[in-house]
Amino acid sequence: MTPQEIYDTVAMALIAQGRPSAVDGDGRINCVYAAPDGARCAVGHLMNDEEINAYGNFEGDISALLKCDEWRGGRMRPLFHDEGYFLKDLQHDHDTYVGLTDEWLDRWKQAMRDTARRYDLNDAVLNESGPVMAAETNEAVS
């Protein structure tokens, strides 16, 4: 996948989902690759069910996952255009406003527009409306 394809895939999935993937843990909200309610984070939308099962509860942030040689190999290798900095930025956009339930989508879209500018990508996909969360939106890239 090209960076534009990755960006569009993540953006379309999160717009349809309409909320971040997070769980309440120890009195604070924690982002997770796949939440029990079916929501997925930015990188979670790039993972298939097998990868979610293997790495869905991976300890640490996206940096820890990106260092995992097993995850970096095989099917995920084409996503590492810049050693994962782009994926880190997409994940950061997802995670930054996770505690702002009512404002999350609007703030996430602005962060994604900033990311698009940094990587010289087209952000037109962010003009789509949402949310329409359904189990079908949780399909990973193939």
What is the pLDDT, as a whole number, of residue 10? 95
pTM value is 0.79
Residues 35-39: what's their mean pLDDT?
88
Ramachandran assignment for 100, one of left (phi > 0), alpha (psi -120 to 50 degrees), beta (any other): beta
Each residue of 86-133: pLDDT tens digit?
888 998 899 888 777 788 899 999 999 999 999 999 999 999 766 544
CA dist., res. 90 & res. 16, Å (int): 16
